Amino acid sequence: MKRIFDAQLIGPFAAMVIVALIVAATTDRFLNPGNLSNLFLQVSIVALIAIGATVVIFAAGIDLSSGSMVALLTMILAQMLKFMGLPLMLALPLILIVGGMLGLCLGIITSYGRIPSFITTLAALIAFRGLALTFNNGSPIFSLDPGLEPIFYGKLAGIPLPFFYLLFFYGLAAFIMNFTKLGREIYAVGGNPAAAVLTGINVRKVQAITFAIAGFMTAVGAVLMSARLNSGSPNYGQTLELQAIAAAVVGGASLAGGRGNILATFMGAMTIVIVQNGLNLNAAPSSVQNIVLGLIILLAVGIDMWRAELSALLSSLFGRTALQKRS
Amino acid sequence: MMSETTPLWEFTNISKAYPGVLANDQVCIKLMKGSIHGLLGENGCGKSTMIKTLSGVQQPDSGQILHEGKEVNISGPLAARDMGIATVFQEFSIVPTLSVGENIFLGNMPRSRLGVIDWRKVNSESARVLGEMDVDIHPEAITGDLSVGEQQLVEIAKAIAMDASMIILDEPTAALGEDEIEQLHQLLRNMRSRGTAILYVSHRLDEVERIVDEVTILRNGRVVSAAGETEINVSEIVSAMVGGDVGEHYPKEHNTSDEVVLRATGLKTKQGVSDATFDLKRGEVLGLGGVLGSGRTEIARALFGVDPLTDGSVELGGSPVRFRNEMEAIRAGMALVPENRKTDGLFFNFRASGNITAASLAEISKLGVLDLAAEADGTERLMKDLEISAQAEAKTVNFLSGGNQQKIVIARWLFADAQVLILDEPTQGIDIGAKIAVYKLMNALTRAGKSIVLISSDHDELLAMSDRVAIVQHGAIKRVVNANDLSHDDLVRASADPIGHASQEQVAS
């Protein structure tokens, strides 16, 4: 357990708590139980997609495609449920497989085709949105399946189901990253690809797998998106890819690869959603929300770039006590 | 007015220490106008440190610098440039995507009155300089499209264009062919006749003999022969460079058996191996001797499956193998400890354990799940055996000394139980204590029946730690001799003679 809950969680956790305290100070509705449970529903889609975004970043790649892929996958799911009459229990695994395969394709183009992932997934970001518009003449498809909405709004023992999805997928991701050969190889490839080659790690395969994971998690997010609105639309998922990357970076994942803790990504996603929630509760217009999201992304990348200076500053303030506690 | 005998530059008692090494110890050099001064010595003797001080890249810990008799302080590369010092480093500092003219005036572009770059002047001035050099390169050519030799000449054109009164050349001929070397030498003679002071650093003693007027020779950071003390011929220079302290700190064990582990026959690759034939015995250390660029690293890459073989064959443990990539070589029991442990060896995001087990992840996992206890045990045992600092497991490995870092890279292959290790410059940049630790590690490896291919530019080390030495020239193994039968002089001469006629023919065929 020490391996999973390490010092890398301190900063993102502190950021999340500070943001929550600020929002709580501006409005008393924030700590209302209804709002808090709503928060979990809100964060779930971004946070699940951010798992994939983070794994790709660990291997020193970047995935910009997830927002458009969500739109495409909700349209494919809608098509399957509404027009092809597939049962839900068949359509759901199929859509997860389609997501994984799309991600794998992007990964193969990136690693074996030697096209930088920024370009591959930027192209996919544009193309997937277009592909989503080819279904149903570009119109949204509504009222897909009565069994769909409970996937998002259902509860178990009074707790919203998305909480369990988060628990399951973050638990699985933390296990893979910390206790498996694949996880170690992902960190190795991101940390030093040249050294990884010379230690016999199949660098290209590992890179391709990270994109397959990202595609799969995007599909999980797309299913929740469809379930939440019982529909598919080519307009879903705008800027989701950036929110997912922002969550990873606010969580401390280094864009240079090799460093970061997957659980911190959840805290990063929470931080972003709490800020958005705070703006909502204070009735800020959506224009302000976009500006704030932009600033958060800038700040997050800034934190990544100024890491050395900031950690020197932080350790001079409270780092010493944190280290003492660990030893 | 300065008199004829006042040196242009005089460096007195320059000392510079790095952690664990005194790189320059009271070095004195005088550089005269219109003179080509050779700075010589083996790898690690302190030449590069001296060049960095001369060019303002770093400050000496102590010592005095006199420019035309007046004490000065070379505070940085820009200050050096303002004082007329131009340095042509071994690694090029040209921008390959820019034109030749832009490179020549980089950072110093002539401007028109409006502050806009005066392109006509850039190109005409560049053409004038290149013409003066008698070089046929167009100022508007893209520098990256030129041959390596031409790029080197562009570097030198930069120095000439800034009207340097002193020019430092660090291994200027490493990438040049014979014709280009002659062209460069003619250029240097022209500059000398115009009164420029030239500091010439090279490993190639035969060409040093042809061009320099005086030499300063360094050994272990100290001047062992000042200008005028050594006659400028190869054997005098070699004996001054080598000195009498060969083989003191080499705890060599001989563990060679009769069993041949690896046999390479007629290896050839597109990347520069022209004909490599040798065998490697169980428990043996086979040294590859040769100058920079002679093809030693390329032979290692061919063995390891990095560069595909176009001809020849490799047998490992009696059966023929043909590796298509590094993964296959590693699975067969080979290992490559790369020359540059920082860029190609270590994972700086991992602690010692992650670095040590990186090549054995399949062996320490079941169904894809890592056995972390086995990892911790193995790491602890190796760290104890190899005396790796305990810091290595407390933090990531970037905080460690070079010696500890190198031990960790080698420990990776002990953990993986590799049978044949290729060590490329295993002691580069580590201090003497850590070097001895690496030598002992090599002994432990051969004692355990592992075989080692050792690549080293440190001739003492190569001779002392190898059982046999293969002389490499132009990608071909010329001969394999017992290390005992080879004197240091033989090795230096053999490997510092890359432009002999025999080897020329070899390349042509």
Three-state SS string over A192-248 comes to: CHHHHHHCCCCHHHHHHHHHHHHHHHHHHHHHHHHHHHCEECCCCCCCHHHHHHHHH
CB contacts of A179 in chain B (<8 Å) are: 369-370, 372
Q: Does residue B22 sit in the same domain as residue B60?
A: yes
Q: Total domain count for chain B?
A: 3
Residue at a domain's end among B194, B213, B242: B242
Tell me if B4 is assigned to some domain: no
* Least Cα separation, residue B460 to chain A (angstroms): 28
Chain A residues with CB under 8 Å of B327 CB are 200-202
Structural domain boundaries in chain A: 41-275
Closest Cα in chain B, distance from residue A227 (Å)? 34
Which has the closest alpha carbon to B361: B306, B405, B412, B324?
B412
- Residue pLDDT, tens place only, B375-422: 999 999 999 888 888 888 877 787 787 788 889 999 999 999 999 999
In a domain? residue B276: yes
- Any residues with CB less than 8 A from the CB of A324 and at least 6 apart, and which? none
B404, B434: one domain? no
Instruction: Pick the last residue of a domain from B227, B242, B257.
Output: B242
The verdict on B352 and B362 lying in the same domain is yes
**Is residue A65 classed as helix, strand or coil in its secondary structure?**
coil
A148-157, A250-259, B82-91, B342-351: the lowest-pLDDT one: B82-91
Chain A positions touching B346 (Cβ under 8 A) are 192, 195
Low pLDDT (below 50) residues in chain B: 1-3, 245-247, 498-509
The reply to whether B205 and B310 lie within a common domain is no
- Co-location of B213 and B305 in the same domain: no
CA distance B17 to B23: 5
The reply to whether B85 and B186 lie within a common domain is: yes
Number of H helices, E strands in chain B: 18, 22
- Statement to judge: residues B354 and B451 lie in one domain: no
SS3 label, residue B76: coil
Distance CA B181, CA B207 (A): 9
Partners of B348 on chain A (C-beta within 8 Å) are: 191-192, 258
For A301-320, write each residue's pLDDT tens digit. 677 677 677 777 877 776 55
B193/B50 same-domain check: yes
Query: What integer pLDDT is reported at residue A71 of this predicted model?
Result: 96
Search chain A and give the residue with CA nearest B344. A195
Question: Is the separation of the CB atoms in B122 and B161 below 8 Å?
Answer: no
Nearest residue in chain B measured CA to CA from A189: B347
Per-residue pLDDT, A100: 97
Give φ, ψ of A299 to 5 degrees: -65, -40
Tell me which residues of chain B have a C-beta less than 8 Å from any C-beta of chain A: 326-327, 329-331, 336, 338, 343-350, 354, 358-359, 361-362, 365, 368-370, 372, 412
Helical axes A88-111 vs A66-78, angle rounded to 10°: 150
Distance between CA B334 and CA B417 in Å, rounded? 9
Work out the minimum CA distance from A322 to partner chain B, whole angstroms: 15
Measuring CA to CA, which residue among B509, B502, B477 is closest to residue B266?
B477
DSSP B231-286: -SSHHHHHHHHHTT-TTTT--------S-EEEEEEEEEETTS--BEEEEEETT-EE
Instruction: Report the pLDDT value the prediction gives residue A195, as an integer from 0 to 100.
Output: 94
Are β-strands B285-289 and B468-473 bridged in parallel, bridged antiparallel, or unpaired?
parallel
B234-242 and B488-495 helices cross at what angle (nearest 10)?
120
Give the pLDDT score at B43: 65
The B334-337 sheet, strands edge to edge: B334-337, B420-424, B451-455, B285-289, B468-473, B476-482
Contact B162, B93 (CB under 8 A): no
Same-domain pairing of B304 and B180 = no
B320, B385: one domain: no
Mean pLDDT of chain A: 89
Q: Report the complex ipTM.
A: 0.85
Residues of A in contact with B361 (CB under 8 A): 181, 184-185, 201
Instruction: Specify whether the CB–CB gap between A196 and A255 falls below 8 A.
Output: no
Residue B298: its H or E element: helix B296-303
DSSP string covering A108-126: HHHHTS---HHHHHHHHHH
Which of B277, B245, B279 lies closest to B420, judged by CA?
Answer: B279
How close B298 gets to chain A, by Cα (Å)?
15
Q: Which of B285, B276, B284, B277 is nearest to B258 (CA)?
A: B284
- Give the distance from residue B376's alpha carbon to the nearest chain A alpha carbon, in angstroms: 13
Which chain B residues are within 8 Å of A202, Cβ to Cβ? 327
Using the beta-carbon criterion (under 8 Å), do A187 and B350 form an inter-chain contact? yes
pLDDT at B244: 53
Q: Which domain holds residue B138?
A: 9-242
Q: Which residues, at least 6 apart from B368, have a Cβ–Cβ distance to it below 8 Å? A: A180, A181, A182
Tokens 């219109």 locate to B34
Q: State how far residue B345 is from chain A, nearest Cα, in angstroms.
A: 5
Q: Pairing between strand A231-232 and B468-473?
A: unpaired
Bridge partners (DSSP) of residue B311 are B268
pLDDT tens for B413-424 read 999 999 999 999
- The beta-carbon neighbor of A180 closest among B327, B344, B369 is B369
Enumerate the β-bridge partners of residue B197: B166
Higher pLDDT, A54 or B176: A54
Q: What is the pLDDT of residues A92-144, one digit of tens each?
A: 999 999 999 999 999 999 999 999 999 999 999 999 999 999 999 889 999 88
Nearest chain A residue to B353 by CA distance is: A184
- What number is the average pLDDT over the span A70-89? 93
Q: Are residues B370 and B276 in the same domain?
A: no
Q: What pLDDT was estimated at residue A323?
A: 43
**Helix/strand/coil for B51:** helix
**Which chain A residue shows the shortest CA-CA distance from B394?**
A327
Across-strand partners of B260?
Answer: B281
Last residue of a domain, one of B379, B401, B418: B418
Angle in degrees, 0-180, between the axes of helices A66-78 and A240-250, rounded to the nearest 10:
130
- The reply to whether B234 falls in a domain is yes
By C-alpha distance, the chain B residue nearest A201 is: B327
* Separation in Å, CA of A206 to nearest CA in chain B: 13
For residues B124 and B184, state if they share a domain: yes
Q: Which pLDDT does position A2 carry in this prediction?
A: 54
- The dihedrals phi and psi of A140, each to the nearest 5 degrees, come to -65, 155
Backbone angles phi, psi at B68, to 5 degrees: 50, 40
Q: What is the pLDDT of residues B133-182, one digit of tens each?
A: 778 888 888 988 887 778 888 888 888 888 888 999 888 876 676 677 88
Instruction: List residues of A whose CB lies inside 8 A of any B CB.
Output: 3, 179-182, 184-185, 187-188, 190-192, 194-202, 258-259
Nearest residue on chain B to A58, alpha-carbon basis: B349
Could you say which of B347, B362, B369 has the minimum Cβ distance to residue A195? B347
| Calpha distance B172→A280 (Å, rounded) | 66
Instruction: Give dist(CA B403, CA B438) in Å, integer.
Output: 8
Q: Given a cut of 50, is residue A321 above it in pLDDT?
A: no
Whether B344 and A194 lie within 8 Å, measured CB to CB: yes
Instruction: Give a yes or no: residue B1 inside a domain.
Output: no
CA-closest candidate to residue B414, choices B374, B392, B439, B446: B446
Helix, strand, coil percentages, rounded to 5, for chain B: 35, 25, 40
- Residue B155: give its domain's CATH number: 3.40.50.300
Render pLDDT for A197-209 as a digit per residue (tens, 0 to 9). Answer: 999 999 999 999 9
CA-based radius of gyration for chain A: 20
State the distance between the two ends of chain A, measured CA to CA, in whole angstroms: 15
Collect all residues of chain A within an 8 Å Cβ-Cβ radius of residue B362: 181
Residues of A in contact with B371 (CB under 8 A): none
Mutate to test the interface with B, among A192, A206, A255, A326 (most CBs of B within 10 A): A192
